[in-house]
Structure 1
Amino acid sequence: MIPPKPPSRPDRVSLRRYAQLFRQDILSAQPARLYRAWMAEFRTPFFRSYLMNQPDLVKTVLKDRPEAFPKSDRIGEGLRPLLGNSVFLTNGETWKRQRRIIDPAFEGGRLRETFPAMWDASEAAARRVPLGETEIEAQTSHAAADVIFRTLFSIPIENELASAVFHEFRAYQRSQPILNLAAFVPLPRWMPRLFRRDTRDSAARIRALISQLVTERAAEIANGTAPDDLATKIMTTVDPETGETFSPDEMVDQVAIFFLAGHETSASALAWALYLMALYPDWQEKVAVEAQALDTCNFAVMSKLPVTRDVFRETLRLYPPVPMMVREATCPEQFRDRDIKPGSQLVLSPWHLHRHERLWDRPDDFDPGRWHTENGKACARDAYIPFSAGARVCTGAGFAMVEGPLILARLLRDVSVSTVPNRTPVPVAHLTVRAKDGIWLNLQKRQR
């Protein structure tokens, strides 16, 4: 049984048709040849873009010369109303300064400090999940949001402000298109960007709620009563080069991306992991057996979940939450005998790279055991970028690789999951890779 993936479009379509498909779903807008191509060129009247799957080219862009290939504004423009000038969208010295302040909060030792909050969120998720036929993406969104609020602000999702942010964000997800006009037309910076009113209004409400959280925490820091969580750590960290901390507005920008990146991506990965467990009951049983170790809130239990971790890694391979990343060439380049002009868009696609037919053995198969094969080990080094790579690798990658396996194991310790007839999910990409009509599973109490 092969896990579902979206259909591919014909090789040649008009720009107008491509834009229509892209707006509906970025994945099914792509031709099947991208699963075996090393590089593909796409032309518009305004610019050229190049999708690159060749590992050494991906390495050049992400690891060897990242400053020559900054993040492109084209896709990110659609997120500006919510994310402002956050670390997800910035480049150059602004980005470097932001990372100098943010990175210390996510260093290895901090994972142990945040683990009790993750544990509490996983316990709450296990208590909350309903039995019977359930749309599981809603449940994983709730669980992932709970983790963010507990680790960032030391409050559960039931907190009034936290709950308001979560529910407002659900509305934002439904109104936010993945494509902004700037993705196809190079608008000058002075020209106002056109956003849907409901998208703009929803983003403004989310930012206002986050501002309340930041203001309250700033007062607690000033009074010496702030908890030692991620928000306190970030708000009190001084940039070693400038001696500055984040301003309140800057902190709102960063909290917005922490919530988007830490909640939306984790929710996507967890939902697909649970669906894959329903498709492959033998692997589900292995995870459930490992999950019996989850009896004490101790970071050491994570070492007892190697199969669960492999399952989660394989889920990120097949269903990377962020399916594509766009960089921009700043100087003339030559890749695979193609002349790349400045301003060209370089598309790095975890979705296609992770399923590339010339790199992976059985690329469309679900096989957590592949990580212990020679092919799997080689591809893990050269063709696996669920969190990006190089200087701009996701700050929370280590955080996610604790959170995901922990919640997955904790849920499967108590419940078994099976598929629902005639409810095969179809992957689509909006903010992240989700299912077109949700992921429906049948949950039953597990006999321990």
Structure 2
Amino acid sequence: MKPPKPIPRPDKVSLWRYLKLFRKDLLSAQPQRLYRAWMAEFRTPFFRSFMINQPELVDTVLKQRPEDFPKSDRISEGLRPLLGDSVFLTNAETWKRQRRIIDPAFEGGRLKDTFPAMSEAVQASVDRLRGQAGTVVECEELTSHVAADVIFRTLFSVPIEHDVAAQVFDKFRAYQRQQPLLNLAAFVPVPRWVPRLHARKTRRNAKDIRALITRLTAERAELIANGQAPDDLATKIMTTRDPETGSRFNTQEMVDQVAIFFLAGHETSASALAWTLYLMALYPDWQEKLCAEAQAVGEPSFGSMSKLRLSRDVFREALRLYPPVPMMVREAACPETFRDRGIAKGSQIVISPWHLHRQERLWDNPDDFDPTRWGTENGKACQRNAYIPFSAGPRVCTGAGFAMVEGPLVLSTLLRHFRFELVEGRTPVPVAHLTVRSKDGIWLRVVER
């Protein structure tokens, strides 16, 4: 069973046509040969890029020698107006210090502590959706709303209806549709002192979002100082000292981190959940299996999440077919040789979950939607070696465990209460905004059970 493709994949495209297609239709932009190649080279007038699609090479870059392949500044340029110097963009000692402060907030029992707030946000989404039952709903908006609510409740102990939270959500929706994954600075060498080539609306929305986050952060700092702060993720991060230096995040640094928490914890979850709902409408037999599982479990608790095995496998399969971040870019910090090919210092190394998750030499039936694959030997091997929806190695997403609780929880709860059905003539086309979204939204009919 294969999700439909917009058009047949071309076998070859020029770089400039590729970039144009990449924004227009992510699937059809990818030459067929990239799904079976171990490595490919792209040339621009200014530098070379190498896509690596072989597990051993990906392992070298992400796990074995990550300091030799830092985050690429070229890609960071498009995100800096919003994210500043957040942990998602930094490298070397700055990044290490940030992770030492952030990681404890997501360890062990902290995930259990955030579950009640997460569950409240999911129930609120059910209550909102009841008023839309029987109508056609744009599911990216639905999942964006619940994912944003989860973030604000777990990070700042406020629901999405909170005045500032609502404003951040509204402005971020505008930002993500204006900001491409790549901008011109990724392809043209622009010195640091030259003004960045960002759209005026993009800059204004980023400035407004950061001002709102600054307000929330300053209010929390005051509560912490007065001993009145709730025990949530923001308080944990703002009160954690770097074990090596004893320093804590100042307000500006915390604003940078909150911006990436919102991007990573809201935008990526919203993308993954919307595509999962589409797949459930496309394959109603699986939708009914998940409904039955959710009904058997009943009102979920943190302890019962392990019983939602089918929901977890379906969500994992949706992340394989529609990874929210389709490509990651690193930069060679020194000359390198991959597959007998010389790679100059400064070359861009592209790691693509989109291609790796559909690599024809690795996966059985890579284009098929098959949640049972995770119980097969091939699926288990590929999960270890060719499955990176949250990246891998030292820079693996801090919130990966958080997402793998949130996703099955939202999915199983929605399917326990509602059935999602396809709408004729509304086949979604994946495109690359900040994450993998649908060109014209994901429209499904919602029926209350």
2:272: which partner in 1? 269
1:47: which partner in 2? 47
Larger mean CA deviation between 188-197 and 57-66 belongs to: 188-197
Partner amino acid for 1:161? V
Larger mean CA deviation between 20-29 and 327-336 belongs to: 20-29
Check whether the contact 2:428–2:441 (CA below 8 A) recurs between aligned residues: yes
1:360: which partner in 2? 363
Identity %: 74
1:286: which partner in 2? 289
| Separation (CA, whole Å) in 2 of partners of 1:101 and 1:8 | 47
Match of 1:376 among 379, 387, 394: 379
Cα deviations across residues 353-393 of structure 1 (Å, max 9, x unaligned)? 00111110010101100000000000000000000000000
| Separation (CA, whole Å) in 2 of partners of 1:336 and 1:60 | 12
Check whether the contact 2:242–2:248 (CA below 8 A) recurs between aligned residues: yes
RMSD: 1.4
Partner amino acid for 2:371? P
| Separation (CA, whole Å) in 2 of partners of 1:37 and 1:228 | 49
Check whether the contact 1:6–1:428 (CA below 8 A) recurs between aligned residues: no
Helix, strand or coil for the counterpart of 1:347? strand
Helix, strand or coil for the counterpart of 1:78? coil
2:336: which partner in 1? 333
Helix, strand or coil for the counterpart of 1:307? helix
Helix, strand or coil for the counterpart of 1:443? strand
Helix, strand or coil for the counterpart of 2:136? strand
1:251 aligns with 2:254: yes
- Counterpart mapping for 1:30-429 below 5 A: 30-129=30-129, 130-131=132-133, 132-296=135-299, 298-429=301-432
Deviation of 1:296 (Å)? 4.1
Cα deviations across residues 19-52 of structure 1 (Å, max 9, x unaligned)? 4334445554331111111100011111111111
| Separation (CA, whole Å) in 2 of partners of 1:245 and 1:318 | 39
| Separation (CA, whole Å) in 2 of partners of 1:431 and 1:420 | 26
Helix, strand or coil for the counterpart of 1:326? strand
Partner amino acid for 2:90? T
Deviation of 1:62 (Å)? 0.4
Cα deviations across residues 76-131 of structure 1 (Å, max 9, x unaligned)? 21111000000000000000000000000011211100000111011111111121
Deviation of 1:8 (Å)? 6.3
| Separation (CA, whole Å) in 1 of partners of 2:323 and 2:192 | 32
| Separation (CA, whole Å) in 1 of partners of 2:198 and 2:235 | 33
Gaps of 5+ in 1: none
Check whether the contact 2:326–2:436 (CA below 8 A) recurs between aligned residues: yes
Cα deviations across residues 5-29 of structure 1 (Å, max 9, x unaligned)? 4546644444443443344455543
Deviation of 1:247 (Å)? 0.6
| Separation (CA, whole Å) in 1 of partners of 2:141 and 2:440 | 12
Partner amino acid for 1:419? L
| Separation (CA, whole Å) in 2 of partners of 1:261 and 1:361 | 30
| Separation (CA, whole Å) in 2 of partners of 1:203 and 1:347 | 26
Check whether the contact 2:25–2:429 (CA below 8 A) recurs between aligned residues: no
Check whether the contact 2:330–2:348 (CA below 8 A) recurs between aligned residues: yes
Gaps of 5+ in 2: none
Helix, strand or coil for the counterpart of 2:350? strand
Check whether the contact 1:28–1:428 (CA below 8 A) recurs between aligned residues: no
| Separation (CA, whole Å) in 1 of partners of 2:442 and 2:23 | 21
| Separation (CA, whole Å) in 2 of partners of 1:7 and 1:391 | 37
Deviation of 1:297 (Å)? 5.4
Deviation of 1:156 (Å)? 0.5
Cα deviations across residues 241-294 of structure 1 (Å, max 9, x unaligned)? 111000100000000000011000000111111111111111111111111245
Count of residues paired in the alignment: 446
| Separation (CA, whole Å) in 2 of partners of 1:227 and 1:155 | 10
Check whether the contact 1:4–1:426 (CA below 8 A) recurs between aligned residues: no
Partner amino acid for 2:52? M
Please, what TM-score do these two structures have when normalized by structure 2? 0.97
Helix, strand or coil for the counterpart of 1:346? strand
Check whether the contact 1:268–1:321 (CA below 8 A) recurs between aligned residues: yes
Partner amino acid for 2:195? P
| Separation (CA, whole Å) in 1 of partners of 2:174 and 2:407 | 24
In structure 2, relative to structure 1, the CA distance for the partners of 1:98 and 1:321 (3 Å cut) is same
Cα deviations across residues 333-357 of structure 1 (Å, max 9, x unaligned)? 1111100111011100000100111
Please, what TM-score do these two structures have when normalized by structure 1? 0.97
Check whether the contact 1:270–1:404 (CA below 8 A) recurs between aligned residues: yes
Helix, strand or coil for the counterpart of 1:262? helix
2:439: which partner in 1? 436
